Structure 1
Amino acid sequence: MIRTSRRQLLAASLAAAAPTGLAAPRGASAQARPSSLTIISHRVHQQVLSEGGGGDVLADWRERNGVSLEWVTLDLNAIHDRAFREARLSSSNITMSYVLNTRAVPSTFAMFEPIDEYQQRDPIEEFEDFSPGMVRAYTHQGKRYGVPVRHSVNALHYNEAYLQERGLDRPPQVIDELVEYARKLTFTKPDGTQVHGWGIQADNYSDVVSMARAFGGDLINENMECVADGPGMVRALETLREMYQDGMMPRNITAMKQNDMITAIQNGQVAMQYFPFGRTVLFNNPRSSRFPGKFGTAFCLNSREGAARDEINTTAEFWCMMIPRNGRVKDMAWSLIKEISSKENTIRAAMNGNQPARVSAYADPRLLANVSYAAKEAQSLRHARVPMPAFDRSAQAKDIFVEEMQAAMLGMRSPQAAGANMARRIKPLLPR
């Protein structure tokens, strides 16, 4: 007679209860089904899976698996601080984290689960359809660690109602027009609302790097050299200083986070700013914007010479979904990632404002018909560069950049001195 222990019965019952479609669990016992899964991300990652023309993308998956999703949505720095702090614990209830390409370095990979075994057992369809460069960025020592989900190719967003009101028939085309346009778009409305012509994410580097490149400069070039003391970055800092000192940007901009800037644009307090193409869905949303349907997109500003050569100057960063190595329900995490990454759900999320990491998405008739900026975004993607290459001490480099950039903008340091300080302080951080 074969005797069955209580432990064996428990293991069998857990296995029977495993949600449909999950990969077979590794090890001797199954992973118990939780009632909810916790995800660390930015707010936009949640929104593009739940709001817009594509509907609630994950509704069927949640129902099939009997779980809810708990989204911990934070700003850029806080996302990684929280995700990495959790990943260093002996175990964590974090199911999945979104991780930006700037953090795709060996020390990060050590905290997260390789996905090759999951992909072999329960594959995401047509994985080769994902941007090869994005996949390579999350590959280390022959192992893949992340599934690309969103790229953020920047565009110039502008309030068409304000352009018309101020006598402008088009957005600025080249960097030399920026100050003139920002000055015209800075005014006080009859109801007392102060409108600022230009905004940047003053706690990050992407917007200013794009301006520096339009002036022929950079922060860290493709040869991994810090060139922040060059004339291109200095001119970008001079331009920021002029616009801030003359009131063309919000006075409290150094204290504003990304979500604050989004709200300011929706409320009509900022007339123009760089943001990923997909943000136009938020800016034009009648439920959250005071100017629904009034925001347009244009290519980021370039030099006159670059524009004459039909070059596009834009930056792109990208996000991957990663499974913490110390997670308790890794199989469910993979099932969730697989669901988000399907070709169909990629299109649905794109209709909600996501910028798809699958190359084929840009040929889908639904995307072309329902997303006004799809063709322009695809064109920008072909020219886009990351604003700063990934390296182990990139977070420190970012902090130095922000400190010096703000000092120049606020008038605490000359643009030349700020650029020189950036170069002097960042160069020792670069890989040798």
Structure 2
Amino acid sequence: MRTGQVRRSVLGLAVAGLCLSMVMNLCGCTLTGRRTLRLGIYAGSPWQVHESSGYEYIDEAIARFKANHPMVDVVYESGIRINDYTQWLDDAVVMGEVPDVFVMPDEKFGEYASLGVLKNLDPYLRQDDSCSESDFFPAAVQSGKYQYSQYALPYMMNPRLMFVNVSLLKEEGLKVPEESWTPEQFLALCRQLTRDLNHDGTPDQYGVVDYDWLDLAEASGLDLFSDDGHNVDLRGDQVRKVTETYRQLTEFMGSQTEREVLMEAGRVAFAPMSYAEFITYNPWPWKVKKYSGFDWICISLPQAADRTIRYAGNSLVMGMSAGTRDGELAWDLMKEFCVNQTTQTGILEHSQGMCVLQTDKSLLDAFLDDSGLSGDTVRAIMNQEGTRVRFSKYESAREQLADRMEKAAADPEDLDLQLVEIEETIRSYLRS
């Protein structure tokens, strides 16, 4: 063989080898058989509260995964704060660089599922005996459903609770409400607790702060949107009743802009509070102390006794990229975060989120012991039904509806006409 032919053969082999290497890298593997999974994760708490654990329990979960998959590397981009994370995800979708596995908040889940960014997980659940919907709290598993199929596994939850100023109730000769309290009882208590203490004609002690129309609608068991996400129904008597009740409630409600001032001063009896905020600011010795000048606890939100009440709160779910080439490995990594008991216990103990697994009752009770929040309360909330069905504009439609309904409650004249107009506006948005 002549020298030129040898050189061309060697070059050809080199180019072929380079092409093979590039193809294998694109597939997430190397010539040594190693594979790489990209993980999309944020830094800090997703709930806008202080969190000091960083990536500790995340790295521990990855280490456990790698112990069972020694030929797989898991990489993630560190330092992305939650406020920047959704934009980072959007950019990844646009660039075609979606991580194999990634977490996402409520407001992005329906959008990504509708755009085909997420892989349908139903086939994985059907063939995997180590993971079942029944492993999770009902509210948690529903948070990852889109049009009745599972497109994400629940990773972390943030139930919505009710802050109760126990000291203020005692001063007024009132008892802490029972867990089964109703919106009507809530309204009556707020009326009793709102006072003009300095007699200047303006209340300076309030029954509630930061409670919105949507809170009351959910407490009354209203299902307002159609399953296909194309319609909203505001014609029922129950919608009118909720709106009129909310108008009465606003008479005993402090300004939302003064929420922190009123709560710090102990001049408001009730306020919706997230589980994350409770865990962060409850006066346990190792937490950030807040609202410490009086006794306070958290209980469940009021709810109608004769209605199906759905979970009120936020969720963080974990999905798989529809374009991943390593579906089985990605599924195993998702299970390490969402199904593994050690990981979920770490979330309970080291983050401000609520675990998604129906864990041993004693574990949650021990963690919340002497905290001012009952484990039974949390379990009852997590055992509520989740959102009936999600669609791409679910979160944004809810926000628009709440804003318009609160304005209608503030101006009750011609309420029926306003409801028709709001219904038409929201329906047009849903169908646009």
Q: TM-score range by the shorter chain?
A: 0.5 to 0.7
Aligned partners of 1:346, 1:39: CA distance in 2, in Å? 17
Q: Tell me how far 1:248 sits from its aligned partner.
A: 1.6
Aligned partners of 1:37, 1:79: CA distance in 2, in Å? 9
Deviation per residue, 1:156-201 (Å, 9 max, x gap): 33222332233322237222222332244445899xx955432346
Which AA in structure 2 matches 1:72?
Answer: R
What residue in structure 1 maps to residue 5 of structure 2?
none
Equivalent residues, number: 393
Aligned partners of 2:412, 2:244: CA distance in 1, in Å? 13
Specify every segment of 5 or more residues in structure 1 that has no aligned partner in the other structure, as ranges: 19-23, 254-260
What residue in structure 2 maps to residue 69 of structure 1?
78
Are 1:175 and 2:175 matched, yes or no? no
Aligned partners of 2:115, 2:144: CA distance in 1, in Å? 8
Which AA in structure 2 matches 1:296?
Answer: I
Are 1:315 and 2:315 matched, yes or no? no
Q: 1:32 to 1:393 in 2, by over 3 A?
A: closer
Are 1:197 and 2:193 matched, yes or no? no
What residue in structure 2 maps to residue 257 of structure 1?
none
What residue in structure 2 maps to residue 100 of structure 1?
106
Cα pair 2:280 2:288 within 8 Å, conserved? no
Cα pair 2:193 2:206 within 8 Å, conserved? yes
Q: 1:326 to 1:268 in 2, by over 3 A?
A: farther
Q: Which has the larger radius of gyration?
A: 2
Q: 1:157 to 1:290 in 2, by over 3 A?
A: closer
Q: Tell me how far 1:353 sits from its aligned partner.
A: 4.5
TM-score of the aligned structures, taking structure 1 as reference length: 0.66
Aligned partners of 1:263, 1:118: CA distance in 2, in Å? 49
Deviation per residue, 1:388-430 (Å, 9 max, x gap): 6323443453243123123124438655444333333345667
Specify every segment of 5 or more residues in structure 2 that has no aligned partner in the other structure, as ranges: 1-8, 67-73
Q: 1:302 to 1:145 in 2, by over 3 A?
A: closer
Aligned partners of 1:178, 1:142: CA distance in 2, in Å? 34
Cα pair 1:92 1:328 within 8 Å, conserved? no
What's the C-alpha RMSD, in Å, of the aligned pairs?
A: 5.3
Aligned partners of 2:28, 2:115: CA distance in 1, in Å? 22
After the TM superposition, which residues 32-431 of structure 1 pair with which residues of structure 2 at under 5 Å, given as runs?
38-39=41-42, 43-44=46-47, 50=53, 56-58=56-58, 60-61=60-61, 69-74=78-83, 83-84=89-90, 86-91=92-97, 96-100=102-106, 103-104=109-110, 107-108=113-114, 110-113=116-119, 126-127=131-132, 129-131=135-137, 135=141, 138=144, 144-171=150-177, 173-186=181-194, 196-200=206-210, 202=212, 206-213=214-221, 217-220=222-225, 226-244=232-250, 246=251, 248-250=253-255, 252=257, 268=266, 270-277=268-275, 279-285=277-283, 286-291=287-292, 294-303=295-304, 306=306, 313-316=309-312, 318-324=315-321, 337-341=334-338, 342-351=340-349, 352-359=351-358, 361=359, 363-371=360-368, 372-386=373-387, 389-395=389-395, 397-411=397-411, 415-427=415-427
Cα pair 1:38 1:93 within 8 Å, conserved? no
Which AA in structure 2 matches 1:315?
Answer: Y
Cα pair 1:95 1:323 within 8 Å, conserved? yes
Aligned partners of 1:44, 1:347: CA distance in 2, in Å? 18
Q: 1:66 to 1:423 in 2, by over 3 A?
A: closer
Which AA in structure 1 matches 2:377?
Answer: K
Aligned partners of 2:280, 2:261: CA distance in 1, in Å? 9
Cα pair 2:137 2:357 within 8 Å, conserved? yes
Which AA in structure 2 matches 1:380?
Answer: I
Q: Tell me how far 1:151 sits from its aligned partner.
A: 4.0
Q: 1:252 to 1:240 in 2, by over 3 A?
A: farther
Cα pair 1:157 1:274 within 8 Å, conserved? yes
Deviation per residue, 1:327-370 (Å, 9 max, x gap): 999999878644432211212322445333223x1x24222222
Deviates more, 1:157-166 or 1:335-344: 335-344
